């Protein structure tokens, strides 16, 4: 088993109202990740990915383009200490 890591990702652009949260959840689940995704009032989407390093990196890479309807103009990544998240949820 590899290192467990955690990353908080802020995605800007046309990312709300384009199924970004639902598609991010599907991507995270397919990679075996825990965490959450939510819309932020400033128009960005924030995702927290926790799991194996390689899977977290793949999820971050996915966020750089997002689902087909999204237009990502920027992404910020903050590394955090793992918190033992369980499951991946969409926060409304």
Q: What is the pLDDT of residues 30-75, one digit of tens each?
A: 999 999 999 999 999 999 999 999 999 999 999 999 999 999 999 9
Domain ranges of the chain: 4-81
Looking at CATH, the fold of the domain delimited by 4-81 is given as Alpha-Beta Plaits (3.30.70)
Whether the CB-CB separation of 89 and 36 falls below 8 Å is answered with yes
Active site residues: 21, 39
Report the pLDDT value the prediction gives residue 69, as an integer from 0 to 100: 95
């Amino acid at each position: 088993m590899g290192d467990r890591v955690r990353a908080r990702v802020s995605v800007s652009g046309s990312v709300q109202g384009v199924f970004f949260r639902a598609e991010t959840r599907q991507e995270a689940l397919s990679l075996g990740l825990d965490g959450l995704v939510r819309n932020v009032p400033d128009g960005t989407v924030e995702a927290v990915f926790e799991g194996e390093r390689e899977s977290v990196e793949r999820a971050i890479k996915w966020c750089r383009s997002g689902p087909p309807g999204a237009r990502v103009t920027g992404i910020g990544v903050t590394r955090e200490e793992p918190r033992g998240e369980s499951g991946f949820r969409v926060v409304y």
